[in-house]
Structure formats: C-alpha cells, structure tokens
Amino acid sequence: MLYTLYGTDFKKARKHLRTLVDSLLKRKPDANVFTLTPLTFSSDRLDELVGGQGLFSEKYIVILDGCLQDPLVKEDIFLRIKNIAESDNVCVILEETLDAKSKKILEKYSEQIKVYEIPKERAGKVKNPFAITEAVGRRDKKEAWIIFRKTCMEGASAEEVHSIVLWQIKAMIQARESKSALEAGLKPFVYTKSKGFLKNYPADSLDSLYKNMIRVYHEARRGKMSMEEGLETLLLLL
C-alpha cells in the first residue's frame, strides 16, 4: 500500500506523516517503522522491506523521505512502484516537490495522495534564479552568499533557493556523467554551462557538496536546523 505526501509546506506534510504513522500503529501495534533517505537508500533494502515480513507476522511501515530528489534513487523506486503499491506493507513517500511525470505515476499507484502547498500570497519568489546558480557554478562563495541574503530579504524562502541551487548541482553532475545534452537529459544551454562549471569543482568536491545539500534538506525538515542557516553555511564553504 502506498501513500504520498508532498508540497512546499513540509511542516504540515510532516505533521500529517506523524498522524498517519500513529494511526497505522494503532491498527498494527507490532509494525516496525523504517525510514530511508537518499543517503541511506539501497534497492536491496527497499525490496526487503516491501516484500518482507517480520517475525510473528508484524508488518513494516516504510517512509521514503525525500528519496525522489536523487535521480538514481527515484529510478529505482519507480521501477518497483507497482510492487510497492501492491505490498501488504505500507510505504509513505514524503516530498517537497514533484515533477509532472512523478505526480502522474504516484497518482496512479497511491492509495492516498495529499498536497500541502504554501499559499501563493505567503510564498516569496526568486526574482533572478540564474544569479545564484551562476555564482555557485563559478564557486564564488562571496557572491553566492550576497545573492542569497538579498534574495531572502526580498521575501523568497530559503527552501526555494535550496531547490534552485540543488538543481544546478544535479545538472553539473549529469553533465559530468554524460557526453551530450541529450544523454544528460538537459537543454543544450544548461548542459554547456554546467559542463563549463565543472573545472571549478575538482576531485570529489561536487559529490561532497551534493551530499551536504541533501543532508541540510533532511536536517531542516526534522527541525535540527533552519534551512536558512544550513544553506548559508554551505554557500560560505563553497
């Protein structure tokens, strides 16, 4: 059985997650709860949890927290989406954003899908999203920090800026691993720019930045730090 919770108002989404899990545990008090993130995910572990069963027939509740933000992890999950939906165990997908294709797939297979969006009148907007991506691509931490502070002062959320920066980092990784824009799944302009930025990130520094961006995302969602604080720290350490 599959449940999907997503939206920019992740505080409400996470609150619903806790309510949902509590409700499921009342019906199945012996169920075991497992959480997988992009950093802890493995396809073998997911197969085990979706298809397995614990001792004395207790069920599993599997939370996939932000896993669809990683392209490779998302691919593994969607290859198994039918099995996940048909499993006797419960799987809950929790995301902040979903692309149109992912929404369509999840709407088809989810027992229940809930959306929690911040009202438009409360949401800020990044006026020039390419400014921060250019600074990050050049690895200009001073410029990136200045743009970030200015953007937040103009009313945009740190979560929105994080999504934009993460998009650029992913594009650079895709460009690095591909021989063409078509293979990378990027527009030619984005591919060329991202390819050019790679010279500023030697060795495994880009992969390290990506992992830290994912870590900040999850720590902010769990209330361990604010997204603004976490992202600001990463930009200053570019």
Using CA atoms in the order 83, 108, 89, 15, what is the torsion angle rounded to 10 degrees? Answer: 140
Which of 142, 119, 144, 145 has the alpha carbon at shortest distance from 134? Answer: 144
CATH number for position 173: 1.20.272.10
Q: How many domains does the chain have?
A: 2
pLDDT at 57 over 70: no
Residue 123 in domain? no
Q: Are residues 135 and 79 in the same domain?
A: no
Q: Are residues 138 and 107 in the same domain?
A: no
Q: Are residues 176 and 227 in the same domain?
A: yes
Q: pLDDT tier at 29 (50, 70, 90 boundaries)?
A: confident
Q: Are residues 111 and 188 in the same domain?
A: no
Q: Are residues 162 and 187 in the same domain?
A: yes
Q: Are residues 102 and 198 in the same domain?
A: no
Q: Are residues 188 and 165 in the same domain?
A: yes
Residue 87 domain boundaries: 2-115
CATH number for position 83: 3.40.50.300
Whole-model pTM: value is 0.59
Among the candidates 65, 82, 115, a domain finishes at: 115
pLDDT at 200 over 50: yes
**Can you give the pLDDT at residue 232?**
93
Residue 122 in domain? no
The answer to whether 155 touches 188, Cβ cutoff 8 Å, is: no
